C-alpha cells in the first residue's frame, strides 16, 4: 500500500488519511495515473465521490454526494468527458435537473 515504482511515481493501491486519522481517499495508481475504482471522503467521513478511471481519465459511472450524505449527481464519463443522462439532486435528495449530455 502507498508505494512508488522505480521512477518515483505512485503505483498500486493507495489509502491516504487526514491529519486527524479520517480516510481522505482510496484507489489505485498505475505509473502515477489514476486507474480503476476510487473514492474520496469529506472531513466528516461521509463519501464525497466514487467512480472509475482508465488511463488517468474518468471513465464509467460516477456519483458525488453532498457533505450530508445525500446524492448530488450521478452519470457516466467516457475518456474524461461527461456523456449520456445525468441526474442532479439538491441537499434534501430531491431530483432538480435531468440532463442529457452529447
Q: What is the tens place of the pLDDT at every residue in 31-63? A: 999 999 999 999 999 999 999 999 999 999 999
CA distances in angstroms from 65 to 19, 34, 77, listed in the order given: 22, 20, 17
CATH code for residues 3-101: 2.20.110
Give pLDDT, residue 57: 97
Reported as a single tens digit per residue, the pLDDT across 80-100 is 999 999 999 999 999 999 999
pTM for this entry: 0.91
Residue environment code for 62-76, b if the CB has 16+ CB neighbours within 10 A, otherwise e: bbbbbeeeebbbbbb
- Decide if 94 contacts 85 (C-beta within 8 A): no
Cβ neighbours around 91 below 10 Å, total? 11
Q: Is the pLDDT confidence value at 102 over 90?
A: no
Residue ranges covered by each domain of the chain:
3-101
Amino acid at each position: 500500500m502507498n508505494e512508488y515504482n522505480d521512477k518515483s511515481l505512485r503505483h498500486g493501491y493507495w489509502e491516504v488519511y487526514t491529519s486527524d486519522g479520517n480516510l481522505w481517499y482510496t484507489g489505485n495508481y498505475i505509473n502515477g495515473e489514476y486507474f480503476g475504482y476510487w473514492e474520496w471522503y469529506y472531513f466528516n467521513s461521509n463519501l464525497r465521490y466514487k467512480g472509475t478511471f482508465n488511463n488517468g481519465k474518468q471513465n464509467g459511472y460516477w456519483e458525488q454526494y453532498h457533505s450530508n450524505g445525500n446524492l448530488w449527481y450521478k452519470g457516466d464519463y467516457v475518456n474524461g468527458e461527461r456523456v449520456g443522462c445525468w441526474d442532479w439532486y439538491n441537499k434534501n435528495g430531491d431530483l432538480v435537473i435531468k440532463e442529457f449530455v452529447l
